[in-house]
Amino acid sequence: MKNSFFTVILVGLLSIIGVGLSGCNALSSHPRGDSGYAELTPDEITSLVNYARSVIRNQKSELRKNQYQYIANYQPDVRISYRSDCYGRAIISWTLDKKTFRVIFLGDLTSRDPDRLNVNYSVVRETDQINYTDRGYGLKPELEINQNERMELKKK
């Protein structure tokens, strides 16, 4: 009885270790970067960029043909931050025609399983709109008066 209990625990621990190691496709083949974690290889980054292109292509509402041709033919801005081995956030974006097409990946960056990798797509448009601040805000300190000054104003 005790031997079977320890066997179950040993098998469970080995499976947890195996799952942890398989998350980044045999970690020994992945370089360790400045983050201290196993990072994506150049081929995996290329695969992630191609995945981002397919996500953008499937969202045709914001995309014109010439914009997709640009996205398909030019390299994007790729920023990756790691929180564990091959796990973290990758932001892949292309900027053209005052629009930024951005795909954000969160989770296991080597996976395509939606339970392990969250994918968000957005389009950010630049406009010529100018935002003005409240001009009266800068005057408030000058309008503050103490009680004696207020009494003098009431007398006038």
Q: What is the DSSP string of 78-107?
A: EEEEEEETTEEEEEEEEEETTEEEEEEEEE
Q: Structural domain of residue 47, as residue ranges?
A: 2-145
Residue 156 lies in a domain: no
Residue 80 lies in a domain: yes
Tens digits of per-residue pLDDT, 61-88?
677 888 889 999 999 999 999 999 999 9
Q: Which residues pair with 89 in a beta bridge?
A: 81, 106
What DSSP character marks residue 86?
T
Residue 119 lies in a domain: yes
pTM: 0.65
How many folded domains does the chain comprise? 1
Residue 58 lies in a domain: yes
Average pLDDT value over all residues in the chain: 77
Residue 150 lies in a domain: no
Tens digits of per-residue pLDDT, 115-139?
999 999 998 888 776 655 545 444 4
Tens digits of per-residue pLDDT, 23-56?
565 555 677 877 789 999 999 999 999 999 999 9
